[in-house]
Structure 1
């Protein structure tokens, strides 16, 4: 008895194709412990209410007003409001403003959203980019605490004395008319993080981002941009532009390496006459006004180039060291960008989780609607990829690992490419394989199909799950390079004696993504 498999090469057919606060203040250990203790209490209350009062969730009307039920979420909401108010007070004190501003929070369980309302006394303005580098990290922290309590929250909106920022600044915060999408993309802009700016009037040069655990986002993210650029050029076939210089020569004004300078200075060197692109706030009294100019310079450059997509790469930050994982943001006034953001998250999840040691790395299930200027101003699809949190020790270790960097950027490219070509991101799975009976001393060919979008070349691995005669079932591992041709395996029964093999079959792609094993029986029978 000898039972084997010979995989037929080159005949493969695809089945079924069709930001952190400027100075990330760390929550004290005591405060975080208090918050989490309260949220655990809230989780217990929620669990009990589900058991004893499930109509609260059955009623559509009640589900949108559950915050008003003091027996369900009052403790959780009070803790979230207290944390938001504390963060705002510290933020205002850092700006030299000593005042208390009321904060209230409302949850909408139907839309999985949270509305945070600030009372009179706090209205961010154009200087400071409407405090997005404070408010968005606050949203991340509160979302994390809410989800720890068992509340499913995705999008968070802010109101200022009852109105959204867009109502106060309708012209400046308006989304520009979007360019009509082309059927085939040819170019992309990759904007990787921040970089040095000059403070005024001291002319001190300073990185825009903190490094609480030793990882400097301003110098780390460009390497992620290099990785993504190569992948998009090779796999998507686009021309890639960069918002920051990658030159190691010295920037003459600062004496710093050009690769550490912000986009603002790169564009100033390229287009000295286009002050409207990189110098939008020349008369601002803000010391860090160049930070606001830099945020706007990146999408201004994308608009100037007329690229088909803008991909912004960052690391995230939070007051809490517990918040971690990969997230993708789209602008809430550009809902048409959400499918791109979701596809990128799906690609990142698939490739990152395929790497040994990263099987459970947190990747958000759904993209988040926010109000970043960086993806509002672009007239093309624009999303922000927050690869991991530089304020979390586990994420910091991942961010410095070339394996993680490669996997994360392969996921970004894959998610973009699937979206751009109209394909859905779906799990990679093999089709079921029917049990086979083959006469001894003969062979039979079967075709294998799959669902998903593997990266070629791929391998098919046959391993023995069981064999009626030890040593008689020979495993195989074969590489396939042509995605246009079907894959066929030849099942053989070389001896004259009957026997049975149970094969476990796995398809594994070039990025390490593998299907769950499919088991089938291969019997050699005497006629």
Structure 2
């Protein structure tokens, strides 16, 4: 007997204050050791009184454990409060303000949220973008420490003397009226990171982000933007606009390459008369006021263009070198953007984890609600993709790897496309295949059903698990057209009876593969 087969078609810190210096915010080695020691101690003490909750990162193989013991819980909160107070004291000192501000923290485990309350003496204002580039990295660090202790935290809110910032600045922090979503999208704005700004009054040119491990976000992220632009144009069919110039010619005012300049200067060149777009704080005394203008310039440009979606690409930073992984943020006053953010995370997780060496790269299971100006001001769905942490050595290695860059941006595009077309992001999986009996010297068409959204072309791999005959031939087949079914044509050649056990899986163009399914094919005499 001969058995054959044919397959049928189927943020750390930005430009600093005073004197135009750039400051890196680092948690002291002693402080981090103290926090982690306390958290490890707490985990040991309550080893017998833990219950399980859902995992925080999709790459984790075990459930996150939540501390029930009140004493350990209180100790963890105290450690988090001390860390937050320490970070705030250093932040104020860098601004030349020598004072202590009380900090208290409350956790709500039902909503997986944390409230960080600052006492009198600290109220961020419009100049400095409400300290979002200090507060949001602080939130990332505290979330990391909380999760290491077993406290499952996703969203973090800040209160200032008992009130949210929106209560102090209701007009400036109001979310603009959102445009009505179109049934078919035609355009997108990709905003890739920061770039050079000029400090005042020195007129010294500085990048907005630090490079603690040698990776400069200001120059790295635009390459991610190039990758994403090509994917969105090819796969989603949109017209893509960029917030920063990609020209290698020199910017005349600074003498730096245009591709290294911030969006503020790109828009200044495009719309010199539109100072409302790129020069919102001309009278600010802040040395780094152009940083604040640049943050607002990007969504201002998106509103001017009237694009259907704004995708902001960044690398993340933390006081702790241990914090790592991909995260996506939406604005807490725009909850309608959460499905887009979650879909992008799902797409990133699927494609990144399909690449050899990145199977366990941390990708957050759920998007995070925050208060970034960049995704508040846009009148269209707007999310921030933090691809990895430039403050973590493993993430830095990934960020410089073209394989990771391509996978991450394929995931972003896929997540966007599924959301825009109303499709759910789900794991690619083959349905079980039934055992079949086929008369000798005949064939049988077997449909192959699957769940998920593979990127075509796809390949159906068919291998031999076991064979009772010598002529069991494995075969792979490519399927180019998503509108045509995937199906097997199983053959029983020759005149003898026998059985082969096949193992099959589906592999898509992005390297995403299903788990194997096995089934028996028996050639029988009639």
**TM-score, normalised by the number of residues in structure 2:** 0.94
Of stretches 493-502 and 419-428 in structure 1, the one that deviates more from structure 2 is 493-502
- Which residue of the partner structure matches residue 238 of structure 1? 238
Contact 1:24/1:317, CA 8 A, preserved across alignment: no
Deviations 1:278-332 (A, max 9, x none): 0000000000000000000000000000000000000000000000000000000
Q: Post-superposition shift, 1:388?
A: 0.2
Query: Aligned partners of 1:441, 1:297: CA distance in 2, in Å?
Result: 71
Query: Aligned partners of 1:360, 1:270: CA distance in 2, in Å?
Result: 43
- Which residue of the partner structure matches residue 473 of structure 1? 472
Query: Aligned partners of 2:50, 2:522: CA distance in 1, in Å?
Result: 52
Query: Aligned partners of 2:380, 2:245: CA distance in 1, in Å?
Result: 22
- Which residue of the partner structure matches residue 488 of structure 1? 487
Query: Aligned partners of 1:192, 1:151: CA distance in 2, in Å?
Result: 33
Runs of 4+ in 1 over 3 A off after TM superposition: 44-51, 66-70
Given the superposition, is the C-alpha separation of residues 475 and 69 from structure 1 closer, same or farther in structure 2, using an over 3 Å criterion? closer
- Which residue of the partner structure matches residue 438 of structure 1? 438
- Which residue of the partner structure matches residue 20 of structure 1? 12
Query: Aligned partners of 1:85, 1:45: CA distance in 2, in Å?
Result: 26
Of stretches 313-322 and 493-502 in structure 1, the one that deviates more from structure 2 is 493-502
User: SS of 2:71's equivalent?
Assistant: coil
Given the superposition, is the C-alpha separation of residues 274 and 67 from structure 1 closer, same or farther in structure 2, using an over 3 Å criterion? farther
- Which residue of the partner structure matches residue 55 of structure 2? none
- Which residue of the partner structure matches residue 426 of structure 2? 426
Query: Aligned partners of 1:164, 1:67: CA distance in 2, in Å?
Result: 28
- Which residue of the partner structure matches residue 289 of structure 1? 289
The answer to whether structure 1 residue 404 and structure 2 residue 404 are counterparts is: yes
- Which residue of the partner structure matches residue 60 of structure 2? none
Question: What is the root-mean-square deviation of aligned Cα atoms in Å?
Answer: 1.3
Query: Aligned partners of 2:491, 2:226: CA distance in 1, in Å?
Result: 47
Query: Aligned partners of 1:293, 1:156: CA distance in 2, in Å?
Result: 25
Given the superposition, is the C-alpha separation of residues 319 and 182 from structure 1 closer, same or farther in structure 2, using an over 3 Å criterion? same
Q: Post-superposition shift, 1:30?
A: 2.8
Unaligned runs of 5+ in 2: 15-22, 52-65
Query: Aligned partners of 2:38, 2:429: CA distance in 1, in Å?
Result: 42
Structure-to-structure mapping, 1:450-461, within 5 angstroms: 450-461=450-461
Contact 1:116/1:156, CA 8 A, preserved across alignment: yes
Given the superposition, is the C-alpha separation of residues 67 and 434 from structure 1 closer, same or farther in structure 2, using an over 3 Å criterion? closer
Unaligned runs of 5+ in 1: 13-18, 52-65
Contact 2:50/2:67, CA 8 A, preserved across alignment: no
Q: Post-superposition shift, 1:69?
A: 7.4
Deviations 1:30-74 (A, max 9, x none): 3222211111222334543337xxxxxxxxxxxxxx999742401
- Matched pairs, number: 504
- Which residue of the partner structure matches residue 363 of structure 2? 363
Contact 2:67/2:150, CA 8 A, preserved across alignment: no
Deviations 1:250-270 (A, max 9, x none): 000000000000000000000
- Which residue of the partner structure matches residue 497 of structure 1? 496
Query: Aligned partners of 1:44, 1:336: CA distance in 2, in Å?
Result: 41
Contact 1:332/1:369, CA 8 A, preserved across alignment: yes
- Which residue of the partner structure matches residue 462 of structure 2? 462
User: SS of 1:73's equivalent?
Assistant: helix
Deviations 1:469-514 (A, max 9, x none): 3x42100011110000112211111121211111111100000001
The answer to whether structure 1 residue 347 and structure 2 residue 339 are counterparts is: no
Query: Aligned partners of 1:177, 1:429: CA distance in 2, in Å?
Result: 40
Query: Aligned partners of 1:69, 1:362: CA distance in 2, in Å?
Result: 28
Q: Post-superposition shift, 1:29?
A: 2.9
Query: Aligned partners of 1:373, 1:253: CA distance in 2, in Å?
Result: 27
Query: Aligned partners of 1:106, 1:430: CA distance in 2, in Å?
Result: 44
- Which residue of the partner structure matches residue 315 of structure 2? 315
Contact 1:104/1:118, CA 8 A, preserved across alignment: yes
Structure-to-structure mapping, 1:48-127, within 5 angstroms: 48-50=48-50, 70-127=70-127
Query: Aligned partners of 2:346, 2:24: CA distance in 1, in Å?
Result: 28
The answer to whether structure 1 residue 517 and structure 2 residue 516 are counterparts is: yes
The answer to whether structure 1 residue 36 and structure 2 residue 36 are counterparts is: yes
The answer to whether structure 1 residue 198 and structure 2 residue 190 are counterparts is: no
- Which residue of the partner structure matches residue 187 of structure 2? 187
Given the superposition, is the C-alpha separation of residues 398 and 67 from structure 1 closer, same or farther in structure 2, using an over 3 Å criterion? closer
Q: Post-superposition shift, 1:272?
A: 0.2
Contact 1:67/1:77, CA 8 A, preserved across alignment: no
Contact 2:49/2:69, CA 8 A, preserved across alignment: no
Q: Post-superposition shift, 1:335?
A: 0.2
Given the superposition, is the C-alpha separation of residues 68 and 516 from structure 1 closer, same or farther in structure 2, using an over 3 Å criterion? closer
- Which residue of the partner structure matches residue 392 of structure 2? 392
Contact 1:5/1:489, CA 8 A, preserved across alignment: yes
Deviations 1:63-115 (A, max 9, x none): xxx99974240110011001101100111111111111111000000100000
